[in-house]
Amino acid sequence: MKFGVYLKKSLAAMITVIICLFLLGGCGKQQYPPLPKNAIAFEMGTFEDTGHDNALYGTIKYNGRLYVPYGIAGNSFRPEYVEKCVGYIIQDENSSYFVDLENKDRRLYTVKEDPNNNFLPEYDETVKLMNTPSFYRALDTNGKEIEIPGFVVASGDELWY
């Protein structure tokens, strides 16, 4: 009889430990595609919006197109919407307050719902809490009617209006 009680307590303790390890190991953690071996090292550039308020925007260039910040991911955005990782933003004096050329944590992705790659989400792998991807939009889409994925929330910059 004592062995049965001991076995039940031991089993309950083991199950509790397994659940805790599972939860601490990343259950619920957002998972994005990994950085590929042929990752693009994106250098930041600048674009001046001379048509509105002369604001300066950080830019990236992907597949011959210039991208500028557009907005953030809304609550409906899920990591499984991401198609692939295309590269990372070089952490230098043009892109960050610190210089770390080996840092590859600010990554750029494509999304499945946007086959023309009009939007590229950026996700910082180092931010663990309240991390929301931001989106770059191709500058050549400015003033054009394009499909904007429902999970992209515009920041309201004058450039896009």
- My answer on whether 16 and 77 are in the same domain is no
Average predicted confidence (pLDDT) for the chain: 81
Which structural domain range is residue 72 located in? 40-160
In a domain, 141, yes or no: yes
User: Both 72 and 6 in a single domain?
Assistant: no
Share of the chain above pLDDT 90, in %: 49
Please state, in angstroms and rounded to a whole number, the distance separating the CA atoms of residues 123 and 50: 29
**How far is it, in rounded angstroms, from Cα 35 to Cα 110?**
12
Do 103 and 142 have their domain in common? yes
Given a contact cutoff of 8 angstroms between Cβ atoms, the answer to whether 82 and 30 are in contact is no
Burial of 10 (0-12, 13-18, 19+ CB in 10 A): exposed
Distances (CA, A) of 78 to 42, 57, 74, 82, 121: 24, 27, 9, 8, 12
Number of domains into which the chain is organized: 2
Evaluate if residue 41 carries a pLDDT over 80.
yes
